[in-house]
Structure 1
Amino acid sequence: MEADYPDLLPNASELEASYYKRTGVYPMHGTIVVKDSVLAEHPWIAKSLYDAFDQAKKEWLARLDAGEATAASDKKYLELRKIVGHDPLPYGLQANLKTIETLEATAFRQGLTPRRMSINELFVDPLAR
Structure 2
Amino acid sequence: AENNRRKKLLRSAQKSIMLWDPDGPARKPPRESAELLVSADAMFGLSDSFQRCTSPDFLLHTIGGTTRGAIERAYDWLIPIISRLPDTISRLPPSTSCFLLLRAYGADGERRAQLKELSTPLLHHVQDSLRGTLGEAES
TM range (shorter): under 0.3
Q: TM-score scaled to structure 2, two decimals?
A: 0.24
In the superposition, the TM-score normalised over structure 1's length comes to: 0.25
